[in-house]
Structure formats: structure tokens, C-alpha cells
Structure 1
Amino acid sequence: MSVLILALLAGGVIGLALGALGGGGSVLAVPALIYLLGFSPAAATTASLVIVTVTSATALTAHAREGAVRWRGGALFAAAGLVPAALGGAVAGHLPSGLLTAAFAVVAALAAVRMLRPTAAVPDAAPPRPGLIAGTGAGLGAVTGVLGVGGGFLAVPALVGVVGLRMRAAVGTSLLVITVNSLAALAARAGMAESLDWSVVAPFAGAAILGAWDGRRLAAKVSGGMLQRIFACVLLAVALFMLIDAVV
């Protein structure tokens, strides 16, 4: 099977997951780029940032038109992650491939386990503290910068539990945070981005954008809980495979 067809298929599947689940699908971009398309871990995380940025920015416009983006709270959260995302992006290119792969596998496994756990109701709490918001935003920015993932599986619960947003607004606002963090991380990797194989990255990203629209329609027809459990099981299997590959 040609590289172009593989890129289109992988991008479509990842976009479908993003559109159906509202976040988390991009975490499969890195293993797809490494094991299906032959990218090195450092190049895969950089390419993933490109894909995450364009898909998140596209989805952000749709959520903004629906009034589901809280710009003020999202801006503070995103601003706190700018420097950590840029630093993480600069550091990632100097990390050993095995370490980068293992770290990604651990984060992916944690994301899968979290998706398999039932979502607890968030009790009414005191007004969010700016320091806590900034610290959480900085941590998410660092993860985005180093590992090349959007972090929607981390941003959405953080925006609900720390910022106090309702779920619909948290999903839309997370796209703002992801887009800003991904752009900051990409800016720190400008030199690496120039060396990417754009004949693979561009169709991958295009297919992901189109797949995201189909995913939103799929979510209206199939139980969200069932989709999330299926995706989580696939993600956990991929994470275990990557972890074994990194340590063996």
C-alpha cells in the first residue's frame, strides 16, 4: 500500500475519532506516523503538532459559531502554557528516541485508562484560583510541546474541574487552548518543521479535517460512551506496544 494512501487512511481515522469524541483522537497521530509512515519519534511529534494545529483551529471556528468557546478563561489557561509549550518543543528534538517513545506511551496509556473510568460529576466549588489555572495550563503546555499531542483528553477535564466550565463549553474552549499551545510548540520547532515530508503530512492533515466532520455526525448516531470505550481500548493497546518497543 502506498504511503499516500496510508496517510489518507490514518488521517481519516484520527479525524473521525476527534470529531466523534471531542478530543483525544490526535494522540494516535504520533504512533501512526512512526509505525505506519516511517517517521522518527522527533519528526512524528513535530508532524503531529502540525496536524493537531490545523484540525483544532478548524474545529474551533465551528464551536465558536455555536457560542461554545469561553474566550476569557481559555485565554488565561492558554497563556500560561505558551512558554512551557515552546520550551518543551525546543527540548523534544534533543531527547533520545527511546525516551520520547516511552514517555508518549505512558501518557497515552494514562489517557486510555481515564477514558475507561466513568466520569464523576463535578460538585459546585469556590471560584477558580488564577494560580491553579495558570499551573494547570502550564503543565498542559509542557505536555503538548514535548510529546506533540493536543491534550484534549487533559484539557477538557481540567477546564471543567479547575476553571469551572460546563462540558460543552470546556470542549470548545479546549480547542482554543490546544491551538495556541500547538502553535507555540511549532514555533520552537521551526527548523524541524522545514525538514518534514509535506507530501505525507499535508494529505494526513487534510484527511483528518474531513474525518472530523464525519465524526461529529457519527457521534449523533452512536452512543458516546461506547465510542469512547472502543477508542480507549485501541489506545491502550497502542500504548503498550509502544512501551514494549521503547524498552526492548
Structure 2
Amino acid sequence: MLKRTIHLVLITLILLPILVLMMLSFGEQWIFPDVFPQNFNTKTWLKLFSSDSEISKSLGLSVLISLSVAFLSTLMAFVFSKVISTSKYKNQYIKLAYLPYILSPVVLGVLWHYFAVVLKLNASFFGVVLAQFLICFPFGFIILSSFWSRHIYDIQNLSFTLGASTYFSFKRIIFPLAKPILGLCFFQCFLISWFDYGLTQLIGGGQIKTLTLSVFNFIKEANIFLAAIASLLLLFPPLLLLFFNKKIKFKRSLINTH
């Protein structure tokens, strides 16, 4: 009984904020001291699908930026981690990768803003992508450095002794083995970019309006209903990632049992 009660409380605490956002996204005319909005309809959601919708534009821009940052960070981190894995200075490089996370994000943002102005990348799509890449790339490098173990190299060398080419070894052996950690790195970098506010605001100069920025703008404008929709859309990728992660683990457990 106690265990069920604890589970119920935890589920309620997790779902309650989402349910409140869902309620507000369908609400209209919420006047103090009413606990709930006076009207409920789909007008606010229908605005999302209009051609001039600010939320839909912000959503598309956020997806494009996050996918670009995640893909570039994962690709470059995989290549660099492979090159560095055979270096005698490997540990030193990994320690340097932690440097961006030791410094204050505000300090990093101010420094990168200066270079963005010099390179004329401020208030631009590519400037925001580059700024977020500089945060995600070291993170991806740290994650993927753990992949290149002695065991991986032993398997690769074994494939060479059996006559496999470098291309075949990478395509049929290395890449399939690296898929789980590449997926982890990609989604982690995607989420870092997806929820970023400070760098996008500073480097983008308020011109690159991502979904995260839109949430704060709607709150400042006291438009709680549009803020609720934007917040729900902002929560969608993490929930999707959680669903697929659980699904993959379930498949693996079935494979192990059989």
C-alpha cells in the first residue's frame, strides 16, 4: 500500500505541470481570482497552424538549429575522438574539453559575442549554430572518447587480419558498435541546443527567435496561453527521447531473455 501511494504521488508530481500546461493551452480569458480560465477552446492551438504563426516559425527554427548543432557536434566529436584516441596526450585533451564547463556561461557568452561581432556572425543563424556548437562539441568529445577502447581496436585489427578493408571494417563493425553511443551523443547535444537560452539571446541579438526565447517573450507579454503551447512543444523532444529510450531498453530485455 505504501509503495503504491509513493508511486501515485511521484506520477502526480511528474504529470501535474504537464496537465496544467495542457489546461492553459486550451484556456481563454483567465481573470483573477478564478482558479481556472473562464473559457476553453481550440483557438490558440489553431493559430499554431496558420502561415503567420510566430510559434510555428520558432518551432521550425529551433528544430533546424538543434538538428544542425547535434549533427555537426556528433560528427566532429566522433572524428576527433578517433584521432585523439591513439595520442599519448589523450588525457590532456579530455581535460581541456572540460574547460568550457568550468568557466561561467556568461563569461563564455560575452567572449564569443565579441568574436561573433568581429566575424559578422552576430544576430545570424550561423552565429547561433556556431556558438552552440562550441558548447556541444566538447561534450560530445567527452562522451565519444570512451568508445575508443582497446576492445574496439582489437575487433578492428581482427577484421583487418581476416581481409577486411578500412571502409568495410568501419561500415560493418565500427559503426554498428558505435550506434548506441552516437545516438546518445546526438540526442544529448540536441537537447543542449534545444533548451539553450543565454547564448541564443546574446549571440542572436533577439533576432533569432527560437522556441525557448518565445516562451520567455510570451511570459513577459503576459500571454500565458501561448506560453503554455510553446512550453508543451518545448517538452516534446525530451518526452520523445524518453519514450524511445524505454522502448529500446524493452527490446534489449526481450532479446536477452530469449
Q: What is the TM-score with the length of structure 1 in the denominator?
A: 0.31
- Could you state the TM-score of these two structures normalised by the residue count of structure 2? 0.30
In our comparison, the structure showing a higher alpha carbon Rg is 2
